[in-house]
Amino acid sequence: MTNAAPQTPLRVALLGCGVVGSEVARVITQQSEDLTARIGRPLELTGIAVRRTGIERPGLDPALFTTDAESLVARDDVDLVVELIGGIEPARSLILTALRGGASVVTANKALLAEDGATLFAAAEQAGVDLYFEASVAGAIPIIRPLRESLVGDEITAVMGIVNGTTNFILDKMHTESAGFDDVLAEAQSLGYAEADPTADVEGFDAAAKAAILASLAFHSRVTAADVHREGITEISQSDVAAAEAMDCTVKALAICRLEPGEDGEQTISVRTHPAMIPNSHPLASVGGAYNAVFVESRNAGRLMFYGPGAGGAPTASAVLGDLVTVARNRVRGAAGPGESNYAQRPVVPIGQVATRYFLSLEVNDQAGVLAEIANCFATHQVSVQTLRQESSPRPGREGARLVVVTHTADDAALSATVAALRELPVVHEVLSVMRVEGE
C-alpha cells in the first residue's frame, strides 16, 4: 500500500492580528488536522498583515508578519483572505484587490459592508469567488447565514434585535442596579465592554451599520447605514427606566427592520435603531449583560430568535472561522456561495412615515385644566392617547406635576409635531422624555 499524495494546501492571508485575528491565527495553526478533515484540504497561514512587526505574539511564527498588506493580498498564491482590520480604508481597497485577484474573502467589517457592500459584492460576483461576513453582526450568533441561506425560501417580514453588547450592558445595569448612565458607562469601559471613546456604541453608529446589513439580507434590497434612522442612549435617565418598569416594560436599544405597506400595494422598508420600551413578556426583554439577540418574523417559519455572545475575541473568531471553513470548502469544490440578493429594490421610507406607539413624560403646571389642554394638543395632531397619568411629585426643587402619556400607534411625523406643540404651551415646563414603545 502506498501513502496518499500530499494535498495542496489552501493559502490564507490574514489582515489584522488583534484580539480576534490572533485567535483566528491560533486556531488555523493549532487545529490544522481538524480543519483539514472538515475542509478536505489543509489550510496554510501564509502571511499576517499588521501595523507593526516586532511585537511578541505567542504561538505565531514571527516570519509570518508583514506591514505590507497590499503586497500580501496581491500574491497570486493566496486563495483566501480574512480581513479583520475594520474601517473603510484601506480595508476596501485591500478586499477589492483580493477579490479581483481571485481570492475568496471573509470579513467582519460591518462599517464597510453597510457603506459600500454593493461594490464588494459586484467584485466577488465578477471573479466568481465568495464574500462571507457572519462576524459582522452579533459576534458568534449565526444570523447572517440563516437570512442569506436557511430562510431564503421564506418571506421575512421583520427583524428586531439587540445587536450592540455595550448598550445592552449599560441599560441592563441601569435596570438591575438603579445606576445612572455615566456610572455604568465607566464600569463598561473598565471591563472592556466599551471603548475609551464609546461614541460608535452609545450613539448608535455600530447598531445602524448592523441594521443596514440585516435589512439588506432580509428584504433583498440595498440598504446602507445612511438609510438607517439612528438614535443613541445617552439621554436615557433613571426616571425613564423607572417609568418602563411601572409599565411592566424594559428599556432596550433596538435595531428594527420591517416591511411596510406602500402605495399601490408596493412594499417598502423601515430601518431604525434607537432605545425603546418593550414588554417584559417579549423574548428580547430578558437578554441581559453584553449579550445580543435577534428576533426574526417570517410568513412561514413564524417567529425565531437567535441569542448568544455578541462580541469578544473567541466568539467573534468562531464566526470568522465558520465562514473560513465554508469558503474553503467551496474552493475545494470549485463553487461559490450566495452573492448579493437585491432583486426587490424596495425603497427605505423616511422615519416620519414610520408608525409605532410612544411614551412621553412632561413637567407641567399643577392646576385645573392642564390635562384637558394637553389632551387637546394630542388630538389636534391626530395622535390618540391610550393612557395619561399625573404624578404629584415633580423633580426635586421644581414646582408642578409630572404627566406620563402613552399613545396608540402614530406616525413619527405626527408625534414630532405634537411634541413641538407641547413645548410651546405655557402650561408645559419641559418635555422630559420621549421614547418609542415596541414589541407588542
Over residues 409-428, the pLDDT tens digits come to: 999 999 999 999 999 999 99
- From first CA to last CA, the distance across the chain in angstroms is 68
* Angle at alpha carbon of residue 141, lines to 296 and 161, rounded to 5°: 40
Percentage with pLDDT > 70 across the chain: 97
d(CA 35, CA 33): 5
Q: What is the dihedral of CA 11, 17, 22, 26, to 10 degrees?
A: 20
In this structure, the answer to whether residues 407 and 429 fall within a common structural domain is yes
Percentage with pLDDT > 90 across the chain: 86
User: How high is the pLDDT of residue 192?
Assistant: 83
Higher pLDDT, 264 or 98: 98
For residue 397, pLDDT beyond 80: no
Domain assignment of residue 338, yes or no:
no
Nearest to 352 by CA among 243, 268, 425, 236: 268
Does 249 appear as a known binding residue? no
| CATH number of the CATH domain containing 72 | 3.40.50.720
Q: What's the average model confidence in pLDDT over 136-145?
A: 94
User: How high is the pLDDT of residue 85?
Assistant: 96
In this structure, the answer to whether residues 133 and 171 fall within a common structural domain is no
Domain assignment of residue 213, yes or no:
yes
Domain assignment of residue 344, yes or no:
no
For residue 1, pLDDT beyond 60: no
User: How high is the pLDDT of residue 139?
Assistant: 87
| CATH number of the CATH domain containing 386 | 3.30.70.260
Q: Of 341-355, 389-403, 413-427, where does mean pLDDT reach its minimum?
A: 389-403
Is 404:388 a contact under the CB 8 Å cutoff?
A: yes
Q: What's the average model confidence in pLDDT over 187-210?
A: 93
pLDDT in tens, 249-300: 999 999 999 999 877 778 999 999 999 999 999 999 999 999 999 999 999 9
- Of 331, 363, 389, the position where a domain reaches its end is 331
Domain assignment of residue 263, yes or no:
yes
In this structure, the answer to whether residues 118 and 169 fall within a common structural domain is no
**Structural domain harbouring 278:** 144-309
- Of 309, 339, 373, the position where a domain reaches its end is 309
The CA-based diameter of the chain, rounded to the nearest angstrom, is 99
Domain assignment of residue 346, yes or no:
no
In this structure, the answer to whether residues 238 and 322 fall within a common structural domain is no
Does 16 appear as a known binding residue? yes
Does 20 appear as a known binding residue? yes
- DSSP per position, 348-413: BPPGGG-EEEEEEEEEE--STTHHHHHHHHHHHTT--EEEEEEES--STT--SEEEEEEE-SEEHH
Does 17 appear as a known binding residue? yes
Distances (CA, A) of 48 to 69, 80, 296, 433: 8, 12, 37, 49
Count: domains in the chain: 3
Q: 327 is written with which cell numbers?
A: 469558503
User: How high is the pLDDT of residue 278?
Assistant: 97
Domain assignment of residue 345, yes or no:
no
Contacts of 298 (CB under 8 A, 6+ apart): 151, 154, 155, 156, 157, 304
For residue 24, pLDDT beyond 80: yes
Q: 371 is written with which cell numbers?
A: 390635562
- DSSP per position, 151-219: TTTS-EEEEEEE--HHHHHHHHHHHHS---HHHHHHHHHHTTSS-SS-HHHHTSHHHHHHHHHHHHHHH
In this structure, the answer to whether residues 166 and 304 fall within a common structural domain is yes
Does 369 appear as a known binding residue? no
110 phi, psi to nearest 5 deg: -65, -40
Is 227:271 a contact under the CB 8 Å cutoff?
A: yes
**pTM for this one?**
0.94
User: How high is the pLDDT of residue 2?
Assistant: 43
In this structure, the answer to whether residues 128 and 156 fall within a common structural domain is no
In this structure, the answer to whether residues 320 and 424 fall within a common structural domain is no
In this structure, the answer to whether residues 94 and 165 fall within a common structural domain is no
Helical segments of 249-359, H only: 313-333
Catalytic residue list: 210
Q: Is 236 exposed, middle or buried (0-12, 13-18, 19+ CB in 10 A)?
A: buried
User: How high is the pLDDT of residue 141?
Assistant: 93
For residue 63, pLDDT beyond 60: yes
For residue 106, pLDDT beyond 50: yes
In this structure, the answer to whether residues 168 and 48 fall within a common structural domain is no
pLDDT in tens, 215-237: 999 999 999 999 999 999 999 99
In this structure, the answer to whether residues 126 and 241 fall within a common structural domain is no
Domain assignment of residue 250, yes or no:
yes
For residue 248, pLDDT beyond 90: yes
Q: What is the DSSP letter of 347?
A: P
In this structure, the answer to whether residues 152 and 295 fall within a common structural domain is yes
Question: 90 preceded by cis ω (within 30°)?
Answer: yes
Distances (CA, A) of 89 to 74, 82, 111, 149, 434: 16, 15, 11, 29, 37
Does 312 appear as a known binding residue? no
Does 391 appear as a known binding residue? no
Over the chain, what is the mean pLDDT? 94
Domain assignment of residue 294, yes or no:
yes
In this structure, the answer to whether residues 204 and 219 fall within a common structural domain is yes
Does 54 appear as a known binding residue? no
| CATH number of the CATH domain containing 250 | 3.30.360.10
Q: Which amino acid is at 235?
A: E
d(CA 215, CA 228): 10
pLDDT in tens, 162-183: 999 999 999 999 999 999 999 9
Q: What's the average model confidence in pLDDT over 39-57?
A: 94
